[in-house]
Amino acid sequence: MSTVRTRDGLFSVIAADLTAVDDRLQEPVERSGALLQTVATYALASGGKRIRPALLLLAARASGDGGPDQRERAVTLAAVAEMMHAATLIHDDIVDRSAMRRGRPSANARWGADVSVLVGDFLYSRAIQILVADGDMRILQAFADATVCMTEGEVLQLQLLRDLKISEEDYLRIVTGKTAALMSAAARVGALVAGASMLTVEALAAFGLSLGIGFQLVDDALDYVARQERLGKPVGSDFREGKITYPVIHLMRTASLADRAVLEELANQADLDNGDLDALRALVERYAAVPATMRLVDEYLARARTQLSAVPDSPACRALHRLVDFVRERDW
């Protein structure tokens, strides 16, 4: 599914603003060297869902429509959210040695780690320049806090690679850092741009956090059941890379001793072949690990809907509710 099709169904109220975000994303790299511009443009135009910019724009619109100046500022800051997200993905692909990203070669696979890590650093740095120019310390603080959380989440995940004894608490700390922190920041910043009350700001930030945790849980479930052409990466990538996600945590709680021994053997293998992945997926199905994951998804998405109750009804607020539905139902 393309980004455009996603926008048509979910984001019609901010369609023009999202198009402006895409245009704005080209500006930070236009005056850069040829290689930097090529790689950064490739990373920014990789067909993502634009969930984080949309969250910021919808949160701003739901908190009060301040006219063209507010919308222009929201577009700029939405581009910052996407630049930070793209930088994170570039760095993730280097750490994970991922060859594919969203159905095409990763920047790391095309240009190597040396170039890619510098392009990720560049995108972060340009985002910071834009935030400094904006001048609102609350917004700079929100994005800075999210960046710290993202780094902490990634480092914790590295520490716990292939550790089948990972606790649900540590797993959720990873998920919060990797995914939910930036979504929460995007929603918070949107509300701040609109001059919302602190009650609304905190409600939308909490909404973004719950939505982000649910989003990552769905991602972790899809790794075992989605089709590769929809997922944009090989199915089973998480376990192959040593990432122990919620479906496997559920397996370790519910599987027989014999099946846990099989799981431990698979986790300790340096390289998994298709037969190994088939065995893993059979265990996931036998112990209903994906339905268990989706039950946890539903808990977090119910929280997200409750947190939205503090936001007055509007087309933008209704779009945020539809975004919750999309997170629950998506298959990519």
Question: What is the number of domains present in the chain?
Answer: 1
CA proximity to 84, closest of 112, 35, 121: 121
Percentage with pLDDT > 70 across the chain: 94
State how far the alpha carbon of 27 is from the alpha carbons of 56, 83, 129, in Å: 19, 11, 13
Range name among 25-34, 73-82, 165-174, 289-298 with the lowest pLDDT average: 25-34
Mean pLDDT on 129-150: 98
- With bands split at pLDDT 50, 70 and 90, how would you rate the model's confidence at 3? very low
**Full residue range of the structural domain in which residue 203 is found:** 3-329
Q: What's residue 61's pLDDT?
A: 97
Per residue in 140-190, pLDDT (tens digit) is 999 999 999 999 999 999 999 999 999 999 999 999 999 999 999 999 999
Q: Are 103 and 232 in contact (CB under 8 A)?
A: yes
CB atoms within 10 A of CB 226: 18
CATH number at residue 194: 1.10.600.10
Per residue in 177-229, pLDDT (tens digit) is 999 999 999 999 999 999 999 999 999 999 999 999 999 999 999 999 876 65
Mean pLDDT of the chain: 92
| Sign of the CA dihedral with 213 first, then 14, 332, and 285 last | positive
State how far the alpha carbon of 318 is from the alpha carbons of 10, 58, 218, 314, in Å: 10, 10, 22, 6
Q: What's residue 228's pLDDT?
A: 60
Whole-prediction pTM value?
0.93
Q: With a cut of 70, say whether residue 231 has pLDDT above it.
A: no
Q: With a cut of 50, say whether residue 134 has pLDDT above it.
A: yes
Range name among 3-7, 179-183, 277-281, 292-296 with the lowest pLDDT average: 3-7
Query: For residues 124, 10, 326 and 174, what is the CA-based torsion angle, rounded to 10 degrees?
Result: 10
Structure-model confidence comparison of residues 237 and 321, the more confident one: 321
Phi and psi at residue 105, in whole multiples of 5°?
-55, 140
Q: What's residue 31's pLDDT?
A: 80
Burial of 112 (0-12, 13-18, 19+ CB in 10 A): exposed
